[in-house]
Amino acid sequence: MSETHVERRARLMGPNVPTFYRSPVHLVRGEGVWLWDAAGKRYLDCYNNVPHVGHCHPKVVEAIAKQAATLNTHTRYLHDMVLDYLERLLGTFKNGIGQGILTCTGSEANDIALRMAQAATGKTGIIVTDDTYHGNTTAVSQLSARRPQIGERWPNVRLVPAPNSLLRPDPDGTIFAGHVKAAMAELAAAGFGTSALLICPMFANEGLPSLAPGWLAPTEAALRAEGALIIADEVQPGFGRSGSHFWGHERLGFKADIVTMGKPMGNGHPVAAVVTTPEIMASFRNVFSYFNTFGGNPVSAAAAMAVLQVIEEEGLQERAAKSSAYVKDRLEALNHPLIADVRANGLFFAVELRDGDKGATAFSVQLVENMVARGFLMNVIGADRNVLKIRPPMAFDIEHADLLIDALAAALAETKVPA
Ligand code: PMP
């Protein structure tokens, strides 16, 4: 019998290589919000924030092709495109952020952010939430609650309970601030001190809780009182996804000292970044002589520049705000006994499914499988894997929202919990 794709993958890549879905999808082509698999089946992409401005956007494709045909090289040569891009990217920030480093992945960006915070504060402790993911370098994997660790977690890392607006309401953020203060006290007693709190401003991997602007203020005050910094991981919220703001930390209303970004930045081309104030950058550069061979090479910079141009030309942030309100209304109108909460943060939605006091884990996982079978890609998040995560490319419009929600209504009616 001939080897399947999944078997070949395991033979060549080893065991436990993550894939989405029980029957992994083998995609071969994309256009806008649409994808096609190897058998010619069409899917509506309701999940992927990497092709931010739409799969294979012609302007991004053209920018990559043109620059690749002209020059691509090591980043230790001078190149205008890289500086033009950084200038434009940094122009989207307020609050003193004025310098950046381009990398290939969000993990690298967070790894640098960690070292920046440590260099700037002289402290080594770091605080993250207990249900997050920030990447896969040796250091950053210590900050990702769900990844198995070899040996004990590093003693300079403290996990605090992630906010959960449904089960543990904390409307003014004082409970979260209390957890952060306790972690800071522990880190001080252990001799590390606190360099920074690292959070995703939407708490996207944690379940996308509903948090009012200003919610982080008590935590921010506690951190500032000790000279600790805030790192905003904008890998998921960034580049206009919230609809109301270009960056997630602006929407939540706190001052980020260091911001990291990745996934949507190059529309699938591997480019990511860490940006900060000139003062923090100087503390980092004075300790580490950092360069990244591929990070922000001319082709990556051209891809990233095209993404910023398309967001502006096509008014994608404004469109996200419009589609957001429409999708939220339609999700709220769905009638199913397990739907416990619907949350929206721009073009990012969470539908929490609960059975009494328990997360409806098996139902949620099966529902996603049924949606994939119907040709709609989405996933589940949250500690109990019971929160539908809907996070389409920014080219997702009202017509697509109607297709999605009609299919979701039918799949909700059809889904039975597997025995
Ligand atoms: N931060 C967050 C919040 C993420 O969701 C991810 C990836 N899922 C990363 C960082 C890591 O990015 P990358 O896979 O590009 O290293």
Tell me if 342 sits within 8 A of 414, measured CB to CB: no
Task: Give the other-Cβ count within 10 Å of 56's Cβ.
Answer: 14
User: What is this model's ipTM?
Assistant: 0.99
Residue whose CA lies nearest to ligand 1 atom number 2: 134
Give the fold, CATH level 3, of 58-313. Aspartate Aminotransferase; domain 2 (3.40.640)
Which of 266, 167, 264, 173 minimizes the C-alpha distance to 219?
A: 173
User: Which residues are CB-contacts of 2 (< 8 A; sequence separation ≥ 6)?
Assistant: none
DSSP-assigned states of every residue in 304-359? HHHHHHHHHHTTHHHHHHHHHHHHHHHHHT---TTEEEEEESSS-EEEEEEETTEE
CA angle 125-96-214, nearest 5°?
Answer: 70
Q: How far is ligand 1, taken at its centre, from the CA of residue 266, in Å?
A: 14
Ligand 1 and 107: CB distance under 6 A: yes
Q: Give the distance, in angstroms, between the CA of residue 129 and the centroid of all CA atoms in the same chain.
A: 14
Judged against a pLDDT cut of 90, whether residue 151 lies above it is answered with: no
Judged against a pLDDT cut of 60, whether residue 108 lies above it is answered with: yes
Judged against a pLDDT cut of 80, whether residue 418 lies above it is answered with: no
Beta bridge partners of 258: 231, 276
The string of pLDDT tens digits covering residues 48-67 is 999 999 999 999 999 999 99
What is the share, in percent, of the chain residues with pLDDT greater than 90? 93
Beta bridge partners of 29: 36
The string of pLDDT tens digits covering residues 184-223 is 999 999 999 999 999 999 999 999 999 999 999 999 999 9
Do the domains 58-313 and 5-53+316-414 match in fold? no
Q: Which atom number of ligand 1 is nearest to the Cα of residue 104? A: 15
Q: What are phi and psi of 34, to 5 degrees?
A: -110, 150
Q: How far is ligand 1, taken at its centre, from the CA of residue 356, in Å?
A: 32
Q: Which of the listed residues 132, 134, 144, 231 should we mutate to test ligand 1's pocket, taking the one with most ligand atoms within 8 A of CB?
A: 134
Q: What are phi and psi of 44, to 5 degrees?
A: -90, 120
Give the fold, CATH level 3, of 5-53+316-414. Aspartate Aminotransferase, domain 1 (3.90.1150)
Q: What's the rounded Cα separation, in Å, for the pair 263 and 113?
A: 16
Tokens encoding 28? 């071969």
CA angle 262-44-7, nearest 5°?
Answer: 75
Judged against a pLDDT cut of 70, whether residue 73 lies above it is answered with: yes
Give the pLDDT band of residue 145 (cuts 50, 70, 90).
Answer: confident
Half-sphere exposure of 73 (CA within 13 A, CB side): 8
Tell me if 138 sits within 8 A of 210, measured CB to CB: no
Q: What's the rounded Cα separation, in Å, for the pair 311 and 23?
A: 34
The string of pLDDT tens digits covering residues 243-274 is 999 999 999 999 999 999 999 999 999 999 99
Q: Which of the listed residues 104, 129, 133 should we mutate to test ligand 1's pocket, taking the one with most ligand atoms within 8 A of CB?
A: 133
Tell me if 32 sits within 8 A of 6, measured CB to CB: no
Give the pLDDT band of residue 417 (cuts 50, 70, 90).
Answer: confident
Q: What are phi and psi of 258, to 5 degrees?
A: -135, 135
Judged against a pLDDT cut of 80, whether residue 147 lies above it is answered with: no
Entry field: residues in the chain:
419
Residue 70 CB burial class (10 angstroms; 0-12, 13-18, ≥19): exposed
Look at the block and give the residue holding tokens 């996070």.
391
Q: How far is ligand 1, taken at its centre, from the CA of residue 398, in Å?
A: 28
Q: Which atom number of ligand 1 is nearest to the Cα of residue 110? A: 10
Domains of the chain by residue range? 5-53+316-414, 58-313
Q: How far is ligand 1, taken at its centre, from the CA of residue 205, in Å?
A: 10
Beta bridge partners of 187: none
**Assessment of whether the complete model's pTM goes beyond 0.95:** yes
Q: How far is ligand 1, taken at its centre, from the CA of residue 333, in Å?
A: 32
